[in-house]
A and B are shown apart, each in its own frame.
Chain A
Amino acid sequence: MTLELKGVSKSVDGQTHIHPTDMTLEKGTMNVLLGPTSSGKTSLMRLMAGLDVPNQGQVIWQGTDVTGMRVQDRKVAMVYQQFINYPSMTVYDNIASPMKLLGLDRGDIDTRVRETAELMQLTPMLDRKPLELSGGQQQRCALARALVKNAGLVLLDEPLANLDYKLREELRVEIPKIFEASGAIFVYATTEPEEALLLGGKVATLWEGRITQFGATPSVYRQPVDATTARVFSDPPMNFLQIAKKGDRIEFGDGQSTQATGGFAKLADGRYTAGFRPNHLEIGQHAPDAMQFATKLTVTELTGSETFIHLDHFGERWVGLIHGVHELSLGARLDVWLDPRHVYIFAPDGTLVAPAAYALAA
């Protein structure tokens, strides 16, 4: 059971939503589409579902071409970011409706509705209308409807985005467990790198209608193929520093330079873009070969146990995530340190030259 996209592309009114894309999704896998808003996650899902017909290319489901097939005839289920249920039906009828349409036996439907409702903790609400439920329950009802259908392809379009934090955490753990048993292909769109990492499986990073990388989630996170993927798969986005390697020095900013240590020592001379994740910036020197940068502190955000620091490094904007609460004065100079083992090196065109040393070790 596979879903294969072959050179699928979609443009609307001259605007390209999806550039030609090839992708193969395997049975029983969780596939996360990760990208910022309007990067094409939903467009791609709609093509997979058959809600939209691609301008070019084919959608192959289990070896047969289903491009342009009516969505009613495809075996798919979809859950939207908005809580979409049938408001005029009770929760019971909502969950039962896809099975009724398949013409299943009444008793069968009843047992499966009750099983699924139990799983989704909806049993006490079966006789209520969806709009009388809380947001989390409404979304669970939508998920139940998608689950009960036993579809081979389940599309979840940011299903947790409109829920509050607590519920999101709960459902985020539940969803993979619940759907794992069904053996279907899952596609899960999200804007949050953290969510992609929690869900595991495979991840496809999207940027402006292109899939920049598709592979096992941890390896995409650790070894992004290019700067775009690294930026998408990092929250806050990855920081970048334009550097030039000359001999045993790396030059950056307005004539600053530092000793080339770690992975930098082996680089050929030339121009590069160095990238590092916010959590790797430190405000104290922890490694003997850490590089020191003089920056100006512009904004601090306190999240309780962590502090986001927004820095200005000779015109480049960096964000650092440091542990603990710190008394830092805005507008003042702040020295930060960066362990060279945490730095990715990209060529000027964005392709990865050398992944960070820590990523290779892990």
Chain B
Amino acid sequence: MADMTVNKASSRPRGLPRINSRLVVMTLYLVFLLLPIYWLLNMSFKTNSEIVSTFSLWPRDLTIANYITILTDPAWYTGYINSIIYVSLNTVISLAVALPAAYAFSRYNFMGDKHLFFWLLTNRMAPPAVFALPFFQLYSSVGLFDTHIAVALAHTLFNVPLAVWILEGFMRGVPKEIDETAYIDGYGFGKFFVKIFMPLIASGIGVAAFFCFMFSWVELLLSRTLTSVDAKPIAATMTRTVGASGVDWGVLAAAGVLTILPGALVIYFVRNFIAKGFALGRV
């Protein structure tokens, strides 16, 4: 493919400028991809009057006031804290539940195991809106409404199946003989699982944790429905910022930038395993 392009280009009559099509396509692609993010970043460093009044490709009047507002105003930064709390809780619960479940699916045959495994995935087929009402009513009646654990538990409905699927793929890749050798050597199940088995599927655990984190972090509907004040997530805060003075564009943009950051950070750390994770470990 590459050779062909080069040949074509060299057979072109001299004098015409050579167009590097690969460069053009790549640049266009990156521009389209990054433009919204750049614009968000751009806005977050502008003042509200500049955003509303003029069109500027970069901030004329560079300011970090928007970020200061977010980091000092409890109404804003508690949103982040709430989000981080329930996302972490959710990731921990999901993995703690999914690890033994995935191990059982990968190692044992039991009645209906294949159906159960598939049924797990069907949980992901229903839109979260379906579950908003039952969760809201249930949590209100048992007093869990507006707590971090409420959101974390609601999100496990989607994250546990996903984590089981990912982990099962990774676990299947570990030969059963390793388990048996460990038992023969005298390891009990718990010790074997933590000391020998988990290091072997560490990348799988990382990928599963990443997917749980991401889903829980971006999910808005359930987290907004199930909270009001004490556990209000940042995404909900951002949608309720229309004040008497209109929309506070700059602060909103800064909040957006800060919301993207954790995800970007997590992706950076698991970037080498992501491809394997998307293949659910079945590579």
Contact = CB atoms under 8 A, between A and B. Distances in A.
Are A and B part of the same complex?
yes
Interface of A: 49, 51, 70-72, 74, 76-78, 80, 82, 84, 86-89, 97-98, 101-102, 142, 145, 149
A202 B188 CA distance: 34
A72 B180 contact: no
21 contacts: A51-B180, A70-B183, A71-B183, A71-B184, A72-B187, A72-B188, A77-B185, A78-B181, A78-B184, A84-B178, A86-B181, A86-B196, A87-B200, A88-B196, A89-B196, A97-B187, A102-B186, A142-B181, A145-B181, A145-B185, A149-B185
Nearest to A80: B177
A76 B188 CA distance: 15
A97 B188 CA distance: 13
B200 A97 contact: no
Nearest to A79: B181
B180 A78 contact: yes
Interface string B34-73: 0000000000000000000000000000000000000000
Contacts of B200: 87-88
Contacts of B199: 87-88
B184 A84 contact: no
B89 interface: no
Given A98-B186, A145-B185, 11 more contacts: A70-B183, A71-B183, A72-B186, A72-B188, A76-B184, A80-B181, A82-B177, A84-B177, A88-B200, A97-B187, A142-B181
Given A86-B196, A88-B199, A101 B177 contact: no
Interface string B178-212: 10111111111000000010011000000000000
Interface residues of B, number: 15
Contacts of B184: 49, 51, 71-72, 74, 76-78
B127 interface: no
Given A72-B188, A88-B199, A88-B200, A82 B183 contact: no
B185 A97 contact: yes
B116 to A, nearest CB: 19
Contacts of B112: none
Interface string B159-186: 0000000000000000101101111111
Nearest to A77: B184
Contacts of A49: 184
A153 to B, nearest CB: 10
A97 B200 CA distance: 16
A86 B182 contact: yes
A78 B181 CA distance: 7
Q: Which of B178, B181, B185 has the most CB of A within 10 A?
A: B185
Interface of B: 175, 177-178, 180-188, 196, 199-200
Contacts of A89: 196
A98 B185 CA distance: 5
B178 A86 contact: yes
Contacts of A88: 196, 199-200
Contacts, number: 50
Contacts of A82: 175, 177
A5 B180 CA distance: 21
User: Do most interface residues of chain B lie in helix, strand or loop, or is the interface mixed?
Assistant: helix
A95 to B, nearest CB: 11
A62 to B, nearest CB: 18
B99 to A, nearest CB: 16
Contacts of B181: 78, 80, 84, 86, 142, 145
A86 B180 CA distance: 11
A149 B181 CA distance: 12
Contact of B186 (A80, A84, A101, A142): A101
Nearest to A51: B180
Contacts of A86: 178, 181-182, 196
A84 B184 CA distance: 12
A73 B236 CA distance: 56
Given A51-B180, A78-B180, A84 B175 contact: yes
A27 B130 CA distance: 67
List of 6 A-B pairs having minimum Cβ-Cβ separation, nearest first: A88-B199, A101-B186, A98-B185, A84-B177, A71-B183, A80-B177
A80 B185 CA distance: 13
A262 B185 CA distance: 56
Q: Which of B184, B186, B200 has the most CB of A within 10 A?
A: B184
Contacts of A149: 185
A65 to B, nearest CB: 20
B40 to A, nearest CB: 42
A78 B184 CA distance: 7
A198 B178 CA distance: 29
Contacts of B182: 86
B173 to A, nearest CB: 12
A145 B187 CA distance: 14
B183 A72 contact: yes
B21 to A, nearest CB: 43
Contacts of A101: 185-187
Contacts of A74: 184
A82 B178 CA distance: 10
A97 B187 CA distance: 9
Q: Which of B183, B187, B196 has the most CB of A within 10 A?
A: B183
Contacts of A87: 199-200
A71 B185 CA distance: 9
A76 B180 CA distance: 12
A132 to B, nearest CB: 16
A325 B186 CA distance: 54
Contacts of A102: 186
A284 to B, nearest CB: 50
B202 to A, nearest CB: 8
A49 B196 CA distance: 21
A312 B200 CA distance: 53
